[in-house]
Amino acid sequence: MAERGFTPISVEPIFLGTPLSAGDSSTSRAIDLRYSAQQGMFSLHSKVSSGTAGTCGTTVFTYSLSTSLNGDYVTPPSAVSIGTSGTSAAESVMSFEPEMMPFMKVIATQTGSGTAGFDSKINAELIIQ
C-alpha cells in the first residue's frame, strides 16, 4: 500500500470580533495561498453574534484575489459569494472553490443600507488544504 502525502490543513483567522452595522463591510488582511492551498480545498468557519444593539444582521462573505501581496485585488466575474450567515447568531461552515491565485482577501458585508438596522460582531477563519 502506497503512503499518502502529508497535506496539512491551515486555519487562518480573518475576523476577530469585527463590528458591522447595516451597509458596512470589512476586508481581511491578505492571505498567502502559495504553500497552504495544495489541494485547492477551502471553507469558511464563521460566527455572527449580536453587537451593541443586541441583534445581528445578515452577513454575506465574498472574496477577492491578486497575483501579488500588495497588488490590486479583484473579484473574479465568475465568483459567487462564499455564503451567507443569517440573523440567528449561529455558527456556520461554508465550502467554496475560488479561482487559482496566490493571494486572497475575504470581505464580510452586512446587508441593508446606511447604519440603521442590525449590528453584528463577526468572527471567521479560513480553512485551507
pLDDT one-digit tens code per residue, 5-32 = 666 888 999 999 888 887 889 999 999 9
Cell of 34: 502559495
Res 117: pLDDT = 52
> Which residues are paired to 96 by β-bridges?
42
CB 47 within 8 A of CB 91: yes
Res 29: pLDDT = 95
Q: Which residues of the chain have a pLDDT value below 70?
A: 1-7, 51-55, 79, 86-90, 112-118
34-58 core/surface letters (b: 16 or more CB in 10 A; e: else): eebbeeeebbbbbbbeebeeeebbb
Res 114: pLDDT = 55
Q: Supply the CATH classification number for the domain 10-128.
A: 2.60.120.680
